Amino acid sequence: MVFKVYSDKLIEYFKANGINIGDKVRVSYGSISIEGELMPSTEYNDPEVLVIKLKNGYNIGIGFSKVKIEKLEGAGTPIEFPKASLTERKDLPNISMIYTGGTIGSRIDYKTGGVYMLTKPEELLYDVPEASAIANISINPLLSIASEDMSYIEWQRIAEETSNALNKGARGVVITHGTDTMHYTAAALSFMLQDVNAPVVLTGSQRSSDRGSSDAFMNLICSVYAASRSDIAEVGICMHSTSSDDECAYIRGTKARKMHTSRRDAFKSINSKPIAYIGKDSSIRYNSQHRAMPAERQDTHALTKYEPKVAIVKAYPNSEPDIIDFYIGKKYRGLIIEGTGLGHAPVSTSHPDLLWLPKIKEAVDSGMVVGMTSQCLYGRVNSS
């Protein structure tokens, strides 16, 4: 859940009456009064609705337009997290950390029950102080969104910021990201970033940092170590390789896929081995061939031109190819068909309305590029 402030109208009211998040307040509606602590709002709430935590621990929502709010004596202080001190060390490499959102960059506050997105370096490193002993970290709070809300526009911004950081001398880049679509971003960056001259590491967490089983700490430590110590000049994902806290796998960006909804080792390398394993003991075990950092670094270029009108269509038993008409009508430039097995679609069925080949020909004749891939995660469409 992403932290979000209340509406501008409510914020002005709070300021005028000296009310802060976490304060004890009395909310009155006619003869009814309710006391509790004012909680932060979230992106899922109506910004005009007050969220109050009652003494029994339950939260309630009250519309602002019909109530009177009174700050009580002995009110709480504004919420602040402890901060870790950041001291730059000349003996450590400098890396950039681009923050885009996700569970890894949030913390629950047990006083209010609210979840806060962290953007200040000292707040992030308070949870993982070991990271500041590995490298000097410069944090770029670029985005604060859920990964399912990513689009090619955000990919372009991340690519540009990554190339800028590398070209300014960063030893590597860590990108914190929500896990649901992290593999999409990793693949997009793999194509957008040309002449990558240092590690570009995406990481996140399956479980929030307030849980004892959180994977956030080790994922971040391993990613910082990979960015600052490995010689991998490629885009990759660094996450738990097993469900235990022993090591993380560095998976090539074009080979990574999220394979489980909640396991800590959700990301797997498809059709290839992970590039390396990063141990919690600050070790790097290279596992396959990779592009190494060049002796003399040249600029990394972000080629961010992108064609958004490309779609994916799945072929399956009884699937009607008429869906292709929609993309032809919308003037799509490309269509990828997820075929069965080696890349098959119904082309000889006895049911004329289920024949795919005529519709594929119509798409090609309209100027659309049509490609075929397989729904199978492993193997190739080339049978030879």
pLDDT 10s digits, 281-335? 899 999 999 999 999 999 999 999 999 999 999 999 999 999 999 999 999 999 9
Selection from 50-54, 88-92, 109-113 with the highest mean pLDDT: 88-92
Per-residue pLDDT, averaged over 146-171, amounts to 97
Domain that holds residue 326: 310-374
Name the active-site residue from 100, 162, 176, 179.
179
| Residue 180 annotated in active site | yes
**CB of 51 within 8 A of CB of 64?**
no
Per-residue pLDDT, averaged over 229-244, amounts to 98
| Residue 353 annotated in active site | no
Name the active-site residue from 23, 109, 127, 180.
180
**Is 152 contained in some domain?**
yes
Three-point CA angle 103, 229, 185, nearest 5°: 40
Do 179 and 260 share a domain, yes or no? yes
Please give the pLDDT value at position 41: 75
Number of structural domains, the chain? 3
**CB of 115 within 8 A of CB of 59?**
no
pLDDT tens column, 39-83: 877 666 788 888 888 887 677 888 888 788 888 876 554 555 555
Question: Which residues is 58 bridged to in the sheet?
Answer: none
DSSP string, 191-246: HHEES--S-EEEE--SS-TTSTT--HHHHHHHHHHHHHH--B-SEEEEEESSSSSS
Do 129 and 33 share a domain, yes or no? no
| Residue 155 phi, psi (nearest 5) | -60, -40
CB atoms under 10 Å from CB of 6, counted, come to 22
Q: Pairing mode, if any, of strands 267-269 and 276-279? A: unpaired
Do 123 and 271 share a domain, yes or no? yes
Name the active-site residue from 258, 268, 300, 359.
258
Instruction: State both tokens at 82.
Output: 């402890």
Please give the pLDDT value at position 213: 81
Do 170 and 263 share a domain, yes or no? yes
| Helix (H), strand (E) at residue 226 | helix 216-229
Do 266 and 168 share a domain, yes or no? yes
Do 216 and 341 share a domain, yes or no? no
**pTM (two decimals):** 0.79
Name the active-site residue from 23, 53, 103, 268.
103
Question: Which residues is 232 bridged to in the sheet?
Answer: 292
**CB of 295 within 8 A of CB of 236?**
no
Pairwise CA distance, residues 137 & 159, whole Å: 19
| Residue 46 annotated in active site | no
Per-residue pLDDT, averaged over 257-262, amounts to 97
Do 200 and 51 share a domain, yes or no? no
CATH number for the domain harbouring residue 330: 3.40.50.40
Domain boundary among 302, 319, 352: 302
**Is 82 contained in some domain?**
no
Per-residue pLDDT, averaged over 28-43, amounts to 82
Please give the pLDDT value at position 31: 84
Please give the pLDDT value at position 370: 98
**Is 218 contained in some domain?**
yes
Do 147 and 179 share a domain, yes or no? yes
Q: Is 1's pLDDT higher than 50? A: no
Name the 3-class secondary structure at 241. coil
CATH number for the domain harbouring residue 236: 3.40.50.1170
Do 279 and 315 share a domain, yes or no? no
Lowest mean pLDDT among 102-111, 165-174, 324-333: 102-111
Do 245 and 292 share a domain, yes or no? yes
**Is 382 contained in some domain?**
no
